[in-house]
């Protein structure tokens, strides 16, 4: 089979790479062409465009980059027609991917959607369109299944591929020694993988080292950035940037400050107490608050359907409030234990690893029917 996969951000690259690996076990002659990143490229096939050229988040940011987005969509459409795959597999990234789904369907190319677009958050009527242009939907969050069913759409629940990535990651016992860090004195900083996230969140995060002199602060470097991207923000000699080792960093951290996104779920599944932060363009946030119909922004709280981790958004995303929450996580045993107990419940809800294999098996089966 010929597979055309589109992932538009770092998390999509991770999940796309694991899906490709699983598809190769199902289909020994699998061919891949894709929009994605270095992890997908490592699995073989042809990279058409790197997600670093595509990841824009927020209403204002999207409008400001509308020409680039339009050009990327046209590149994808033209390339899909030239390649004529057996299936187009779309990974999250709905603003872009739903347009590609419609185009592929118009050209009689099958469309699989892996990692559902978050239509449950706003403009739920988009499901009516999704039902027409997506052949199969593969969900990774447990609450998505009854949601889609309420709209009369049949979906496959495969579990969460984050569990696959964590299971595949080998724990490094000498991590602290290798990076000259003291055990039990690390606070991880995960500011996200988009440029606008660095610009909004890192200046706030860089106020924290002076407030916690006993701790080493370590930034989890996103794979699409280099050290030079982080240097302008770093003001303290006790701040390091470590690339390609985020899970080891989290496993050795006492607490973490995490930008809202997939990383919040990864941090929770690795049992690291965290505070979730987010800061965006004020206009984008104002529009989002009018449109988005969910109680929480972090995946941890959404899955648990209650506040398990503190969310500090926009005006609340300031050093003094993050300091208060970190103090609770680090120095209040009852507060910390309550979060870790909630994490155990979260782990039970999320289930077991194997999502990538289950998704690949179902996909290959549907393609051969």
Q: Domain locations in the chain?
A: 2-159+354-367, 169-350
CB 49, CB 75: distance < 8 Å: yes
2-159+354-367 against 169-350: fold identical:
yes
The per-residue pLDDT of the chain, averaged, comes to: 92
For the segment 7-34, the average pLDDT, to the nearest whole number, is: 95
Stated pTM of the model: 0.84
Residues 6+ apart with CB under 8 A from 177: none
Q: Nearest 5 degrees, angle CA 301-CA 155-CA 48?
A: 85
Alpha-carbon span 63 to 85, nearest angstrom: 31
The 10s digit of each residue's pLDDT in 336-357 is: 999 999 999 999 999 999 999 9
**Which CATH number is correct for 2-159+354-367, 3.30.460.80, 3.20.20.80, 3.30.420.40, 3.40.50.2000?**
3.40.50.2000
Neighbour-count burial of 361, counting CB atoms closer than 10 A to its CB (0-12 exposed, 13-18 middle, 19+ buried):
middle
Tell me the C-alpha to C-alpha distance, in Å, between residue 356 and each of 73, 114, 258: 26, 10, 25
The DSSP string of 102-129 is HHHHHTT-EEEEES---TTTS-TTHHHH
What's the CATH number for 169-350?
3.40.50.2000
Sheet with strand 186-190: strands edge to edge: 239-243, 216-221, 186-190, 255-259, 274-278, 310-313
CA-based nearest residue to 218, from 233, 238, 197, 204: 238
| pLDDT band at residue 219 using 50, 70 and 90 as cut-offs | very high
For the segment 128-156, the average pLDDT, to the nearest whole number, is: 93
pLDDT for the residue 11: 85
CB 266, CB 247: distance < 8 Å: yes
Asked whether the predicted pLDDT for residue 62 surpasses 70, the reply is no
């Amino acid at each position: 089979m010929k597979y055309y996969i589109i992932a538009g951000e770092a998390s999509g690259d991770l999940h796309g790479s694991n899906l490709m690996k699983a598809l190769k076990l199902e289909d020994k002659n699998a061919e891949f062409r894709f929009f994605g990143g270095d992890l997908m490229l490592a699995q073989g096939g042809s990279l058409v465009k790197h997600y670093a050229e595509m990841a824009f988040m927020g209403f204002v940011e999207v409008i400001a980059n509308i020409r680039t987005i339009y050009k990327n969509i046209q590149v994808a459409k033209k390339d899909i027609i030239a390649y004529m795959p057996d299936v187009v597999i779309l990974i999250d990234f709905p603003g872009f991917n739903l347009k590609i789904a419609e185009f592929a369907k118009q050209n009689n190319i099958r469309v699989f959607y892996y990692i559902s677009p978050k239509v449950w958050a706003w403009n739920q009527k988009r499901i009516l369109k999704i039902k027409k242009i997506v052949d199969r939907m593969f969900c990774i969050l447990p609450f998505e299944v009854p949601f889609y069913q309420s709209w009369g759409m049949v979906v496959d629940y495969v579990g969460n591929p984050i569990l696959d990535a964590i299971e595949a990651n080998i724990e490094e016992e000498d991590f602290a020694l290798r990076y000259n860090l003291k055990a039990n004195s690390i606070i991880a900083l995960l500011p996200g993988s988009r440029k606008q996230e660095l610009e909004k969140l890192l200046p706030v995060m860089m106020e924290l080292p002076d407030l916690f002199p006993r701790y080493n602060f370590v930034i989890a470097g996103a794979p699409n950035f280099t050290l030079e991207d982080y240097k302008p923000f770093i003001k303290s000699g006790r701040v390091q940037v470590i690339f390609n080792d985020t899970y080891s960093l989290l496993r050795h951290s006492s607490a973490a400050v995490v930008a809202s996104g997939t990383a919040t779920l990864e941090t929770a599944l690795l049992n690291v107490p965290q505070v979730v932060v987010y800061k965006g363009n004020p206009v984008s946030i104002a529009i989002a608050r009018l449109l988005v119909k969910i109680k929480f922004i972090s995946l941890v709280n959404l899955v648990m359907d209650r506040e398990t981790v503190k969310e500090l958004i926009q005006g609340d995303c300031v050093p003094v409030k993050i300091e208060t929450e970190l103090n609770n996580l680090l120095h209040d045993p009852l507060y910390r234990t309550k979060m870790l107990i909630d994490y155990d419940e979260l782990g039970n809800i999320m289930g077991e690893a194997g999502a990538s294999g289950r998704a690949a098996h179902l996909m290959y089966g549907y393609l051969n029917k």
